Structures are given as structure tokens and as C-alpha cells.
Structure 1
């Protein structure tokens, strides 16, 4: 009887230690920031802002998934309403870059996450080039010590898009942050993209989105973060 109780105690202790080890070594670091797009439309300045929350996984070097560099996003893509000209979206997808643009982007920020995950590192000029446990943890700790609004270099931005209704299909076109005129017409220019770490609540889905886009599942990988409608 005593031997059985002792064995049970050992099993329980090992289970607690194992659970504690997992809790200590596997966790997420949350980085929440407000992203604001300012667009010059003729003599008017128009803006769209959204608070999103990114969850970066921290795992030990022996974990097979330690090199996952894609943080989970909760929130909705910042959207600028340009009236009859349409809506401008800053998506959660990586931008399409030329070799020269990729080289310039890498000069601006050394970062191993995807574009949306690298944005705060680019804004605060903090290195995000960390894959292993210790350096990834240190990079995020360094980032979270930053404060204040910062301009984001255009070359580090995720994909910018607008929707074009062709034959009743909602297709989107990729936009260059340096040339919005090609899609929206004369006088339209991306003036600034501002990022600021914040504790504000995540911004709800924009009411200006068309009804079809508000439907569950529509464009979820591009405009809607994890677990959103």
C-alpha cells in the first residue's frame, strides 16, 4: 500500500514537473500595435487605422516547430475610404517585391518573420532576425520596451490592395505604395504609415467594408486575422 502511494506520488511529481517545463518553455509573446495609413487625396488627407494583436510563439531549440516565423494575427486590415474611388487595404499578406526591393527591405530591417510580423521591428529599427529560442525572446523583449509613434518604411509594408468588381467577381489588384495614382487616379498618394505599440483593444471590423466582405470566411487570410469573423 505504501509502495503504491509512493509510486503514485512520483508519477504526480513527474507530471507536475513536465507540465511546468512545458509552461516555462512554450508560450506566446503578444505585440499589439496601432497601424495608421494616411493618404493624400487631392487637397484632403484621409486616414484609416486599426489595432491588431500579434502572437509570436516562443519554443525551445529542441522543438521541431521552433522556426515557425509566422505570428498569429487577431484584428482587421487597416482600411482607407477614398469615397467613390474605392477602398485601400493594407493586408496581412506579404508584398510582392523585385530583387532590388527585397534588398532594400533587408537594409531597412533584418527580420525573419513575415511582413506583418516584421512591421513593428521595422518601425522601431529593432532587429527581428531571431530564430532560436534565446535570441527570439530577447528580440521581442527589446521591441516591447519601445514606445511612441514611428513611420514605417514603405518598402517594408505588406501587400496593399483594392478590389475591382469584374463581371460580378470581387477580385483584387496589387498596389505599389509609391504609385496609388495608377489605381485611384490623379492626386492620390500614400503619405505616411504610422505604427505605435499600444494596449488599446483590438479594433472591430470596419463598418465601411462591403457586405460581402463582412461575411464569414471571405478573404480571411488576407484581411482578417486568426479567429475573426
Structure 2
């Protein structure tokens, strides 16, 4: 009887389009502005957050919300050979940043607005969640864009050490949007599609030595 009850419940949920999970999706635009001697340089990326909520059925186990994100890093060209990337992951290295943490920021700081702009820099937003004390994306660059091993992490307070005098992070914002998810980063990084091969080919020297966070240039 219990089995029939569970099966019947799942069929009802499936009929409402939930299957085992209720899922909400929305998109947001992250914009990064950088001051340079040649003026302000800007880049943006549109990402999609998925929020999966299991139905509150005790016999199915714990009721826990899951977050996912699809999208790519923000690209800011400081000069033709110097490019800043704002990763999907957070400055603290948390890969959940682009989905979970950004969703928390929207829920807490703009719960009733679909067009509010939330500033993450230069003044960090005040939230009730300790994990959001540093709500910035991870910032990186490559000494040689052709070489994935040359990834270099950047200090948001000191971009000049990587890009030269007069270069400083001006502003980082997020805003909900209906625009399509951006898909442009492979035009900058032609080896990005090879990352899976790097990870799975035992004969490839990059298999176990890829820099931390490199997979957060793009999440599918």
C-alpha cells in the first residue's frame, strides 16, 4: 500500500511538471567595470540559475533545496593581451557562488523586484548570511591565454600588480534579466572545450594538475 501511495504521489507531481523535483529557473546579468588609464573597461555575462525543491514527502527523505548554474565567466579586456575573467565561482573558491549565493543575494536584498541592481563592489552588501561576507566572484587572468596552466588569481584590491598602474576594479553588479545566456568565451579561449579531455585522458599531463577553479570559466 505504501508503495502504491508513493507511486501515485509521484505521478501526480509529474503531472504538474515536477517529477521528483520542483524547479524554478531565472537568469541574471553580472557586469564588471574596471578603471584603466584608457578609460573604463566593461564586460558582462548572463547566467541561468536553477533551483530544485523536492516535494515535502517524509518517506522520500530530507527536504533540501539544490542550486545549479549555467553560464560563463565575465570577460573584461584590459588590453589586447591582458584580460580579466570573473569566474562563475566565488572569491572564496566556492563553486556554488554563481547559483546558490547569487540566489540568496536576490532573495535577501531584492525579494520583490525583478529589475533591482545589486552592487557587490566597491561596497559589499550587508546580509544576514555569514557565507556572503565576501560576495565577489573569483577574479583571474592568464599570463599566456594559450596555456591553461598560466591561470593567475587576482586580488580585487590590487589589479594593478597584474595589469599595470592605474588599473583598478570599479564596480561589480548583478541584475535579473530575460536575456539569453551568453556563450562567447570560447572565442577567447580556444582550448576550453578540451578541458574534459584534460580531465579524463590519463596520458595528458594536465589531467591532475589543472589549476583550481579553471572549470569555472564555464558551467554547462
Question: What secondary structure sits across from 2:185 in the alignment?
Answer: coil
Q: CA, structure 1 residues 113+168, in 2 after alignment: closer, same or farther (shift >3 Å)? A: closer
For residues 15-40 of structure 1, the C-alpha deviation after alignment (integer angstroms, 9 at most, x for no partner) is 45432246376221213101111111
Does the CA contact (< 8 Å) of 2:87 and 2:139 recur in 1? yes
CA–CA distance in 2 between the matches of 1:79 and 1:120? 22
Q: Counterpart of 2:118?
A: 150
1:171 shift after superposition: 2.4
Say if 2:92 is the partner of 1:96: yes
Q: What pairs with 1:142-181 in structure 2 (closer than 5 Å)?
A: 143=111, 145-153=113-121, 155-165=134-144, 170-181=149-160
CA–CA distance in 2 between the matches of 1:174 and 1:64? 40
Q: Counterpart of 2:170?
A: 191
Q: CA, structure 1 residues 172+66, in 2 after alignment: closer, same or farther (shift >3 Å)? A: farther
1:185 shift after superposition: 1.2
Does the CA contact (< 8 Å) of 1:91 and 1:158 recur in 2? yes
Does the CA contact (< 8 Å) of 1:53 and 1:73 recur in 2? yes
Does the CA contact (< 8 Å) of 2:10 and 2:19 recur in 1? no
Q: CA, structure 1 residues 208+45, in 2 after alignment: closer, same or farther (shift >3 Å)? A: farther
1:204 shift after superposition: 1.6
Say if 2:74 is the partner of 1:47: no
Does the CA contact (< 8 Å) of 1:85 and 1:184 recur in 2? no
1:73 shift after superposition: 1.6
Q: What pairs with 1:20-35 in structure 2 (closer than 5 Å)?
A: 20-21=12-13, 23=18, 26-35=21-30
Q: Counterpart of 2:73?
A: 77
Q: Give the structure with the higher percent helix.
A: 1
CA–CA distance in 2 between the matches of 1:75 and 1:91? 10
- Please list every run of 5 or more consecutive structure 1 residues that lacks an aligned counterpart in the other structure: 1-10, 98-111, 128-141
Q: Give the structure with the higher percent strand.
A: 2
For residues 105-137 of structure 1, the C-alpha deviation after alignment (integer angstroms, 9 at most, x for no partner) is xxxxxxx99322313543x5717xxxxxxxxxx
Question: What secondary structure sits across from 2:31 in the alignment?
Answer: strand
CA–CA distance in 2 between the matches of 1:25 and 1:200? 28
From 199, 214, 221, give the equivalent of 2:215: 221
CA–CA distance in 2 between the matches of 1:166 and 1:83? 13
CA–CA distance in 2 between the matches of 1:67 and 1:50? 29
TM-score (norm 2): 0.68
Say if 2:129 is the partner of 1:116: no
Q: CA, structure 1 residues 166+18, in 2 after alignment: closer, same or farther (shift >3 Å)? A: closer
Return 33-42 or 197-206, whichever deviates more: 197-206
Count of aligned positions: 185
Q: Counterpart of 2:31?
A: 36
